[in-house]
Amino acid sequence: MRPAGSAQRRRVPWLSLPDRTFVAGHSPRPAEGWYAAADRADWFDYGCDLFDAGCYFEAHELWEQVWLAARKVGSDDDARFVQGLIRLAAGGVKWLAQMPQSQHSHLEAARRLLLTAAPRRGLTLACLAAAIDAVADQRPPRLAP
């Protein structure tokens, strides 16, 4: 199950997208370490592709690994930015699970974290704000320019 309108230019087209995203009670959870075949250098961009394809749970899982790596090397600004993306993806997970109160709290946290950070990795503040607003309005968001 993915929101409609998920076709776009991909950052890492050589990595496949799942047929559907995990939604508790509706679809199977991905196997542990499902992303391990992807090169770590591609994890951030693969997360963007997953998010743009409506695979919010999988993007969340992958960005969590990026966040842990950023924290390990002491990159607080990068960690804070990726934490904002994790919260944005969690908002998408809660949208698909039809949990509006949780969706709203994740999106507010994403807004605080992302819109106070310097843009990174080609993600502009305008694109991030538009993605947050789209999830809040229950429309398919895009990070891709």
Count CB neighbours of 105 within 10 A.
15
Q: Supply the pLDDT for residue 135.
A: 93
CB-CB contact of 96 with 21 (8 Å): yes
pTM above 0.85, yes or no: yes
Q: Which pLDDT tens digit goes with each residue over 100-140?
A: 999 999 999 999 999 888 778 889 889 999 999 999 999 99
Rounded Cα gap, residues 32 and 72, in angstroms = 21
- Asked if residue 33 has pLDDT above 80, the reply is no
Highest mean pLDDT among 28-37, 79-88, 117-126, 135-144: 79-88
Phi, psi angle pair for 123, to nearest 5°: -100, 110
Q: Supply the pLDDT for residue 8.
A: 67
DSSP 41: G
Query: For residue 1, what pLDDT band results from cuts at 50, 70 and 90?
Result: very low
Q: Supply the pLDDT for residue 145.
A: 63
- Asked if residue 15 has pLDDT above 50, the reply is yes
What type of residue sits at position 54?
A: G
Query: For residue 34, what pLDDT band results from cuts at 50, 70 and 90?
Result: confident
Both tokens assigned to 38: 């992807």
Domains with residue ranges and CATH for the chain: 40-136 (1.10.3450.10)
Q: Looking at the DSSP assignment, which residues form a beta bridge with residue 120?
A: 123
Mean pLDDT of the chain: 88
Query: For residue 2, what pLDDT band results from cuts at 50, 70 and 90?
Result: very low
Q: Supply the pLDDT for residue 13.
A: 92
Query: For residue 87, what pLDDT band results from cuts at 50, 70 and 90?
Result: very high
